[in-house]
Each structure stands twice: as structure tokens, then as C-alpha cells.
């Protein structure tokens, strides 16, 4: 019997692995040879595991949900049976618990963790590797741009690379054409935050309209802007309180990359605590308005009000 435990915070990659296991089955009979169970259904899962596939060499048993100590005995029995035709997939996993340690010993653990968006070199390498599987060889500069545009969102990375492979056809796309196909929304939102900070009316208007034109939801733009403002505010408050060491500032701001602190300190130069507080409140209120149905036509106008603080 093959048994895998799928763990990590990249739910898209976990889903992709499960789909790949399904694709290994005979497609005509797959609907009969794939079953999903919760941990509260382990008795039924045990019975299913001991039956032969309806057709073909293997069947798939997927167990999801929250594990408790009450599941230990049944799960131990399930993982001990010798059924070569059954493939078991378990997700998620907490190896700190007794039952988690049992699962770890009895299965092959596969880690699917999102690469932090600040590890741009690692992300670019991942982009190059994935693009090759689609028959596209990307120069490092292009892969780095795509990594910057998609960040740690592996689902979007795959979607954008598939779009790139489809649009490319037999032709070679220019870097400019790739940028049009794959807009760097993360970078654009940061530019928008900086435009708000510098009270640049033209840039705020242009960048917000650009983001809306490529289908970026106003709620997502607002949430991202609010994240930037909150981070600046936390850093400003920490420095004002006399905190100076990078370790303590990292803890105070929640920034996972200590190297980013240098750039954040540059970002907040000249910013007043009053403006940051008022902007954070305004963006929070804007989130509420959008959730209540504010038309996207009014979005840019609302952002421009931040320039009056």
C-alpha cells in the first residue's frame, strides 16, 4: 500500500498532487475508484481500503479534516493493512501530536509550502522549472519578472505560465509583450501606495485605473494598500517608541524578512503618524463601503480623498 501525507500551506499544490494521483487511474472508472473520507469516517475508509478496485490496478482513498486522539486506533489499523491496490492520501498533518507522529512514520510525507514573496531568486528558479514543463524556456530576467508579478501565489504562477505558453504559439514574445500579458499587480499596488504617500494626484488616478482595467478587484487593492499603510504605521510607532534593533523591529512590525526593514525605513521618511492613522481608518472604511456595494466607478475618487489628509 502506498500512503502519502500532504502538508504545508500551499493548498493549490496539494490539490494538484491529489489531481495527479486521480489522473493515474483509468479515467473511465476513476469515479468508482476514488473516495473521500473525513477522520470521523475511518471505519468506512477501512472497509473501502480492503476492497479491490472496481477496474484497474489501483484506487485512491483521500482522508481530510481535523485529527483527534480518538482516531488513533482506527488510523493505526488502516495504515497497517497490506493492500497494494490502495493509495492513501492524508491531509493536513500536525507532527507535534501523537497521532501526527504515527502518520509521519507510516506514510511518505510531502511538503507543499509557499515560497515567501521576498525570496525572489528561489521563486524565479521555480518559474523557470515550471515553464520548461510547458515547453517554454524563459531567460532569468523574464522569470524574475514573472516571480515578482505572481509572488508566492502558485496558482496564479501556473495560470500565467499556461497563458504565456498558449499565447506564444510558435513565435517568440518580447519582454514588453510578456509584461502586457502578465501585469505585475503587486508592484503596481506598491506604486499606488507610494503615490498616495507623495500625494501625487496624477499617479493615484492613473495607477488605480490601470489596476481596475486589468480586472483587479477594488476590495483586493484596498486590502493590499491597507497592509502597506499598517506596516508603515507599525514601524513608525516602533521607532517612535525607541525600538532600534532589527530583531525587535521585525517582531513589532510582523515583517518576516529582516532585510526589508531597510527599505521600509526609507518608505516612512517624511510620513507623519497622523497621516498614517487617518489613511488606515479611511481605507478600513472604504473596505466596508466596497463590501456594501460601492460601485467601482467611485473607487478612485475615494482614494483621492486620502491626499487631503
Together in a domain, 163 and 259: no
Together in a domain, 159 and 172: yes
Together in a domain, 266 and 296: yes
Last residue of a domain, one of 158, 181, 204: 181
Reported for 134-140, long-range contacts at CB under 8 A and 24+ positions apart, including other chains, are: 134/161, 134/162, 134/164, 134/165, 135/165, 136/161, 136/164, 136/165, 136/168
Together in a domain, 209 and 287: yes
Together in a domain, 142 and 248: no
Return d(Cα 218, Cα 292) in angstroms, integer.
12
Q: Write down the H helix ranges in the chain.
A: 11-23, 42-49, 72-80, 98-106, 120-133, 140-150, 154-168, 175-181, 185-197, 201-213, 218-240, 246-253, 260-267, 273-291, 299-304
pTM for the predicted model, two decimal places: 0.67
Residue 111 to residues 60, 152, 198, Cα–Cα distance (Å)? 20, 15, 43
CATH number for position 143: 1.10.8.60
pLDDT of residue 64: 87
CATH number for position 197: 1.20.272.10
Range of the domain at 256: 185-308
CATH number for position 40: 3.40.50.300
Together in a domain, 61 and 128: no
pLDDT of residue 95: 66
From first to last of its 309 residues, the chain has per-residue pLDDT tens of: 788 888 888 889 999 998 888 888 877 787 888 888 888 888 888 888 887 777 777 888 888 887 777 777 787 787 777 777 778 888 877 667 777 777 888 788 888 888 887 788 999 999 999 999 988 888 899 999 999 888 888 998 999 999 988 887 666 778 888 888 888 877 788 889 999 999 999 999 989 988 888 778 899 899 989 989 999 999 999 998 888 888 888 888 887 777 778 888 888 888 899 999 999 999 999 999 999 998 888 999 989 988 887
Together in a domain, 189 and 294: yes
- CB atoms < 10 A from the CB of 161, how many? 22
Asked whether 214 and 183 are in contact (CB, 8 A), the reply is yes
Return d(Cα 282, Cα 129) in angstroms, integer.
42
Q: How many domains is the chain built from?
A: 3
Together in a domain, 60 and 157: no
pLDDT of residue 192: 92
Q: Which of 107, 57, 64, 85 is nearest to 1 (CA)?
A: 85
Last residue of a domain, one of 181, 196, 215: 181
Together in a domain, 216 and 256: yes
Last residue of a domain, one of 131, 165, 181: 181
Amino acid at each position: 500500500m502506498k500512503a502519502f501525507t500532504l502538508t504545508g500551506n500551499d493548498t493549490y499544490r496539494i490539490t494538484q498532487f491529489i489531481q495527479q494521483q486521480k489522473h493515474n487511474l483509468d479515467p473511465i472508472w476513476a469515479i468508482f475508484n476514488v473516495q473521500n473520507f473525513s477522520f470521523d469516517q475511518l471505519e468506512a475508509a477501512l472497509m473501502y481500503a480492503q476492497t479491490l478496485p472496481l477496474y484497474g490496478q489501483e484506487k485512491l482513498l483521500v482522508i481530510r479534516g481535523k485529527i483527534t486522539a480518538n482516531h488513533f486506533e482506527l488510523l493505526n489499523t488502516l495504515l497497517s493493512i497490506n493492500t497494494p491496490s490502495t493509495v492513501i492520501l492524508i491531509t493536513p498533518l500536525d507532527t507535534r501530536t501523537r497521532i501526527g507522529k504515527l502518520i509521519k512514520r507510516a506514510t511518505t510525507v510531502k511538503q507543499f509550502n509557499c515560497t515567501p514573496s521576498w525570496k525572489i531568486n528561489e521563486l524565479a528558479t521555480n518559474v523557470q522549472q515550471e515553464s520548461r514543463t510547458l515547453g517554454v524556456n524563459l531567460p532569468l530576467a523574464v522569470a524574475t519578472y514573472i516571480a515578482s508579478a505572481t509572488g508566492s501565489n502558485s496558482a496564479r504562477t501556473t495560470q500565467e505560465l499556461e497563458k504565456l505558453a498558449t499565447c506564444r504559439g510558435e513565435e517568440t514574445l518580447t519582454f514588453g509583450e510578456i509584461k502586457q500579458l502578465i501585469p505585475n499587480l503587486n508592484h503596481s499596488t506598491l506604486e499606488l501606495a507610494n503615490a498616495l504617500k507623495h500625494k501625487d494626484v496624477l499617479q493615484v488616478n492613473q495607477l488605480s485605473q490601470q489596476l481596475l482595467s486589468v480586472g483587479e478587484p477594488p476590495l483586493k487593492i484596498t486590502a493590499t494598500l491597507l497592509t502597506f499603510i499598517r506596516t508603515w504605521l507599525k514601524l513608525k510607532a516602533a521607532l517612535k517608541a525607541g525600538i532600534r534593533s532589527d530583531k525587535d523591529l521585525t517582531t513589532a512590525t510582523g515583517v518576516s524578512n529582516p532585510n526589508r526593514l531597510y527599505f521600509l525605513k526609507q518608505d516612512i521618511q517624511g510620513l507623519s503618524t497622523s497621516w498614517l492613522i487617518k489613511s488606515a481608518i479611511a481605507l478600513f472604511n472604504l473596505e466596508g463601503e466596497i463590501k456594501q456595494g460601492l460601485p467601482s466607478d467611485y473607487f478612485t475618487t475615494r482614494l483621492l480623498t486620502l491626499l487631503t489628509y
